[in-house]
Structure 1
Amino acid sequence: MPRPWLALCGFLVSVAAPVAAEMPVLGLPIDCTLGTSCYVEDYVDTDPGSGQRDYACGLKSRDNHRGTDIVLLSFDAMEAGVNVLAAAPGRVAATRDGVQDVAITPKNRADIEGRECGNAVRIDHGSGWQTLYCHLKQNSIRVKQGDRVQAGDVLGLVGLSGLTNVPHVHLGVLKDGEIVDPFNPENRDTCGTATGNGMWKEAPGYDRAGLFTAGFATAVPDFDAVKSGAARVRDTAPDQPLVLYGHAFYAKPGDALSLSATGPEGEIFRHDVILENPQAQLFRAFGRRAPQDGWPEGAYRGYVHLTREGRVIAVRHADITITSR
């Protein structure tokens, strides 16, 4: 998942969270429906040390994560265009554009050094409050420095710019340059104590369950290999099986995992499983043997969805390339 550590237009952020009475009231910073066309993936890290925890003492953060990530369900949704919205009224303090929409890899990581936020907008709400919107689509930003905006105004489109591998918007909230958790603005160093809506007009609901990862393999892997990452295969030959797996946490009985994969000629499989007695961690896998003439060469993508009563809780994707060696 994305890690938007950033300095946008020279604006650096620190990591404390002060209390202030003039907090802006936030709306959703993206034009989507939570649980249907998007979901919250990561929250501000409330652990002051080297660990990680979200505001509800759950697993949905990463060490030193400094915002709230709202993720689209697919790359197709990004290509269709989803608006990033101003969360509250204010004045545009800074923008950046021109960063390509390319998923981050170890090979291209150095190319975005100092631009981890990607294409971005920063809005000043007065009294030291600002919001930051990261990973917008290249050439989509519709505002400029000095513009006045109202809550819900379009800032640009969700993209894949900066330090990310999935289309999403990263919302950072700051007071006097310091990170504030909009779900628990009173104290960033505690968790499990937040009540009410925090800074939100209507706080997005919280789900403890989620997905650690998804990946392709050429056989059903063992759980240790899934957890360590050793199971993942990124390229293979046309005559090999294709198996997609998903690693979930804190699922409840009745939750569903959907595993699907597409290739150059369209969908190759789709499989749904109801979790009757899930453990704290689990994985499921599904796949197909290669056809008689082998898989067509090219790029393949798999998606794993975790849903509860038809509501999307988490999505992970995986890519694999098939090529003759």
Structure 2
Amino acid sequence: MPGLRAAFCTFLLSAAAPAVAEMPRLSLPIDCALGETCYVEDYVDTDPGSGQRDYACGLKSRDGHRGTDIVLLSFEAMDQGVRVLAAAPGIVAATRDGVTDVAVTPDNRAGIEGRECGNAVRIDHGDGWQTLYCHMKQGSIAVEKGQKVQSGDILGLVGLSGLTNVPHVHLGVLKDGQIVDPFQPQATDTCGMASGGGMWRDAPGYDRAGLFTAGFSTAVPGFDAVKSGAARVRETAPDQALVLYGHAFYAKPGDVLTLSAAGPKGEIFRQEITLENPQAQLFRAFGRHAPEDGWPQGDYRGYVRLTRDGRVIAVRHADIAVTSR
């Protein structure tokens, strides 16, 4: 779930509140079609302890996660430009731009401190209600402080800024500075959406199933190595096999895992695997042996996609570099 996922950073600059006083009703904050060109990946963590739990008591959150993540299916989609939209009417309270669109790594993590939200917009809806839109594309912010906006107005573009490694928008909802789960705004600590769809005008559907991770290896790994992370290889030689794996949870019979990979000369494989009798957790892998003259040196990216009846439930990506060593 975008691993190193969108942490909710401090982004609470002062601004005058508009006259609207009731709880805002939210529209989707991104110009995409759920299940077709995007999907909801992570929700607000409703577990008060050190664990994580989404509003449906499922696995789709991270410890301390403070928003709803809506993720694009690929980096290519981000490059084409996907608009971030105001979820409700209000007044722009603050903006930030100038954060580079770079996936977070252990090497650059320290440079993101204090700017985990990346390029962002915060909108004031009155009576202490605010929404926050994180990880937007550098240079794309289309509004300014003090500007009135309506639901669906363009705020900018989906990017890769801040504490993230996948292109997505992180929507945070606050009341008097405290995070609110838009699916369960009264924080009832029950399993399931609040009556009336919570704060949503048209609440996104929920899927229990998802993907924990994807990775490259140089042979089909064992399940223990997949779960521990030991299977992941980030750099390899031209004569080694390239194997992509995906780790899924709560899949149903008939769900499809699609594993694909591409490198400097284009796609190297694509395989669809129909899950006939899935377990609570499972992994599948597919790959190719190196060609006789070896893989071309350069960067390779793989995608693992979980679909049900043609509807996208989750996507994970993995990267590996082929070097001359």
**Above 0.5 in TM-score?**
yes
Note if contact 2:117-2:135 (Cα within 8 Å) is conserved in structure 1. Answer: yes
Note if contact 1:215-1:318 (Cα within 8 Å) is conserved in structure 2. Answer: yes
**Residues 247-258 of structure 1: pairs in structure 2 closer than 5 A:** 247-258=247-258
1:267 match: secondary structure:
strand
Range that drifts further, 268-277 or 193-202 = 193-202
Range that drifts further, 187-196 or 175-184 = 187-196
2:46 maps to 1:46? yes
- Paired with 1:106 and 1:301, the residues of 2 have a C-alpha distance of 19
1:245 match: secondary structure:
strand
2:6 maps to 1:6? no
- Paired with 1:292 and 1:195, the residues of 2 have a C-alpha distance of 61
1:187 deviates by: 1.1
Q: Report the count of equivalent residues.
A: 316
2:196 match: secondary structure:
coil
1:276 match: secondary structure:
coil
Paired AA for residue 84 in structure 2: V
- Paired with 1:241 and 1:282, the residues of 2 have a C-alpha distance of 22
Gaps in structure 2 of 5+ consecutive residues: 15-20
Paired AA for residue 154 in structure 1: I
Give CA-to-partner distance per residue, 1:266-323, whole Å, 9 cap, x none.
0000000100100000000000000000000000000000000000000000000000
Note if contact 1:56-1:194 (Cα within 8 Å) is conserved in structure 2. Answer: no
- Paired with 1:133 and 1:149, the residues of 2 have a C-alpha distance of 14
In the other structure, the counterpart of 2:17 is none
Note if contact 2:6-2:170 (Cα within 8 Å) is conserved in structure 1. Answer: no
In the other structure, the counterpart of 2:180 is 180
1:303 match: secondary structure:
strand
Give CA-to-partner distance per residue, 1:74-126, whole Å, 9 cap, x none.
00000000000000000000000000000000000011110000000000000
2:65 maps to 1:65? yes
Note if contact 1:9-1:96 (Cα within 8 Å) is conserved in structure 2. Answer: no
In the other structure, the counterpart of 1:14 is none
Paired AA for residue 7 in structure 2: P
In the other structure, the counterpart of 1:78 is 78
1:10 deviates by: 5.1
Give CA-to-partner distance per residue, 1:182-215, whole Å, 9 cap, x none.
0011116443363331000000000000000000
- Paired with 2:69 and 2:188, the residues of 1 have a C-alpha distance of 17
2:239 match: secondary structure:
coil
Paired AA for residue 6 in structure 1: C
TM-score (norm 1): 0.96
1:7 match: secondary structure:
coil
- Paired with 2:133 and 2:185, the residues of 1 have a C-alpha distance of 18
2:33 maps to 1:33? yes
- Paired with 1:299 and 1:171, the residues of 2 have a C-alpha distance of 31
Note if contact 1:81-1:157 (Cα within 8 Å) is conserved in structure 2. Answer: yes
- Paired with 1:10 and 1:112, the residues of 2 have a C-alpha distance of 19
In the other structure, the counterpart of 1:194 is 194
**Residues 130-145 of structure 1: pairs in structure 2 closer than 5 A:** 130-145=130-145
In the other structure, the counterpart of 1:163 is 163
- Paired with 2:205 and 2:166, the residues of 1 have a C-alpha distance of 21
2:205 maps to 1:209? no
- Paired with 1:226 and 1:189, the residues of 2 have a C-alpha distance of 32
Distance 1:188 1:268, change over 3 A: farther
Q: Which runs of 4+ in 1 moved over 6 A?
A: none
Note if contact 2:13-2:93 (Cα within 8 Å) is conserved in structure 1. Answer: no
In the other structure, the counterpart of 1:246 is 246
2:314 maps to 1:314? yes
Paired AA for residue 122 in structure 2: R
1:22 deviates by: 2.0
Paired AA for residue 319 in structure 2: D
Give CA-to-partner distance per residue, 1:129-158, whole Å, 9 cap, x none.
000000000000000000000000000000
Note if contact 1:91-1:146 (Cα within 8 Å) is conserved in structure 2. Answer: yes
Paired AA for residue 206 in structure 1: Y
Note if contact 1:48-1:189 (Cα within 8 Å) is conserved in structure 2. Answer: no
Using the aligned pairs only, state the percent identity: 79
- Paired with 1:293 and 1:188, the residues of 2 have a C-alpha distance of 61
Gaps in structure 1 of 5+ consecutive residues: 12-20
Note if contact 2:29-2:152 (Cα within 8 Å) is conserved in structure 1. Answer: yes
Give CA-to-partner distance per residue, 1:141-178, whole Å, 9 cap, x none.
00000000000000000000000000000000000000
Note if contact 1:4-1:134 (Cα within 8 Å) is conserved in structure 2. Answer: no
